[in-house]
């Protein structure tokens, strides 16, 4: 039973990280029907910036929680800047191109950013400092859920609630929903669609950077390649939940995280990815538009 709880908690932690990244995919997809393949790279860049900032701050004598907060903040700012620039260079000129073009441009961007970090920093794994402190009150259940895991769960929950509020109750959220429903119509009633798309990329990037910082300090090491697998998994989660659907992405991510954790714990950790993709294929066969996605009728 304890083992089961342990696996569940690690599955939830994984799931909530996937969810943070998956939200960026699903929001972008909802608005411009593009798989932002380079989104995983934004997450990786967020983690790298946080690592560099925390390294520099540690050397210059800062300590404790102030490092965590500063590192996360700067990482989020940089991720937002990268997300914004990415959209402007690689996707905006292709707004009216055939479907395959922006996707290939995204794969190109992903390769570019990976190798940019590889060349600018290092191909090796870097040790990420443990930024999250150990809480005393977590001591009794530390073997099931540690402090870092608690922080990850709480932070992701807060981010997701924040996102929901933003989409539901703010002006820009309304504009985002309008653009998602009908871009041309939104433009006609005075929504600045280009700005909305930029904001969507920025929000997604900030969430990914938060995920990057959390994962970095939880797992303890990063390299230039972490974005690829995380991106693929998060995208899988978004598809699983029905791409374009915000609650769906969270649900899909949790399902995926738990599946992986149980598969790794009870069967074999070498095959956890096989199970992750297996679940995806299975669900897509049964429900081609994902768990919460609506089937779109296409007119000719």
Partner 1 sequence: MVDNIKRSLLVALWFVFLTFPLMVVKVNTLKSIVEWRWMNMLWVAIGAFALSLVWRWAMARRQLKSKKAEQGEDESVKAGFATRLMEDPKLYKPALIVIALATIVFPLVVDIYQTNIMVLALIFVVLGLGLNVTVGLAGLLDLGYVAFFAVGAYTYGVLNSFYGLGFWTCLPIGGLMGALFGIALGFPILRLRGDYLAIVTLGFGSIAKIVIENWEEVFNGAKGIAGIPRPGFFGAEMNITSATTYTYYLMILMVVFAIFITNRLKDSRIGRAWMALREDEIACVAMGVDMAKTKLGAYAFGAFWAGLAGVIFAARNTYINPNSFTFMESALVLSIVVMGGMGSIIGVIIAALVLILMPEYLRAFSEYRMLMFGAVMVLMMIFRPEGLIANVRRKYTGRKVTTEDANA
Q: CA 187, CA 3: separation in Å to the nearest integer?
A: 54
Contact residues: partner 1, CB under 8 A: 29, 33, 35, 45, 48-49, 51-53, 55-56, 58-59, 74, 78, 81-82, 85, 89-90, 93-94, 97-105, 107-117, 119-122, 126-127, 129, 228, 232, 235-236, 239, 243, 268, 270-271, 273-274, 276-278, 280-281, 284-285, 288, 298, 300
The nearer residue to partner 1, 74 or 199, going by C-beta atoms, is 74
CA distances from 232 to 39, 76, 138, 176, 197 (A): 10, 21, 32, 25, 22
In the bound complex, what is the minimum distance in angstroms from residue 110's beta carbon to partner 1? 7
Shortest Cβ 33–partner 1 spacing (Å): 8
Closer residue to partner 1, CB minimum distance, 12 or 25? 25
The CB density around residue 285, as the number of other CB atoms within 10 Å, is 8
CB of 125 to partner 1, least distance (A): 12
Q: Closest separation between CB of residue 122 and partner 1, Å? A: 8
**β-pair partners for 221:** 127
Shortest spacing between CB 169 and partner 1, in angstroms:
30
Please give the structure tokens belonging to residue 56. 């520099």
Residue 162 vs 278, nearer CB to partner 1: 278
Tokens linked to 9: 């908690």
Distance between CA atoms of residues 168 and 176, nearest Å: 10
Kindly tell me which of 35 and 145 has the beta carbon lying closer to partner 1: 35
DSSP reduced 3-state for 65: helix
SS3 for 215? Answer: helix
């Amino acid at each position: 039973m304890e083992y089961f709880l342990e696996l569940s908690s690690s599955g939830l932690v994984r799931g909530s990280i996937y969810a943070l990244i998956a939200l960026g995919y699903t929001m972008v997809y909802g608005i411009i029907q593009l798989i932002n393949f380079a989104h995983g790279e934004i997450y990786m860049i967020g983690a790298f910036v946080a690592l560099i900032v925390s390294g520099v701050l540690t050397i210059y004598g800062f300590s404790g929680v102030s490092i965590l907060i500063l590192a996360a903040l700067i990482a989020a700012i940089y991720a937002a800047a990268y997300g914004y620039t990415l959209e402007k260079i690689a996707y905006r000129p292709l707004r009216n191109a055939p479907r395959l073009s922006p996707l290939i441009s995204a794969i190109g961007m992903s390769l570019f950013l990976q190798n940019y970090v590889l060349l600018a920093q290092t191909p090796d794994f870097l040790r990420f400092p443990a930024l999250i402190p150990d809480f005393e009150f977590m001591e009794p259940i530390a073997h099931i859920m540690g402090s870092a895991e608690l922080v990850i769960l709480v932070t992701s929950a807060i981010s997701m609630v924040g996102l929901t509020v933003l989409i539901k109750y703010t002006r820009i959220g309304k504009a985002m929903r309008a653009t998602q429903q009908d871009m041309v119509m939104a433009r006609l009633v005075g929504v600045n669609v280009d700005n909305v798309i930029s904001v969507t990329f920025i929000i997604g990037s900030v969430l990914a950077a938060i995920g990057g910082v959390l994962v970095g300090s939880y797992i303890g090491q990063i390299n230039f390649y972490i974005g690829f697998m995380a991106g693929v998994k998060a995208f899988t989660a978004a598809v699983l939940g029905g791409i374009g659907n915000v609650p769906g992405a969270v649900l899909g991510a949790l399902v995926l995280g738990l599946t992986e954790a149980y598969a790794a714990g009870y069967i074999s950790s070498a095959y956890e990815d096989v199970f992750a993709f297996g679940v995806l294929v299975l669900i897509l066969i049964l429900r081609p538009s994902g768990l919460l996605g609506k089937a779109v009728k296409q007119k000719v």
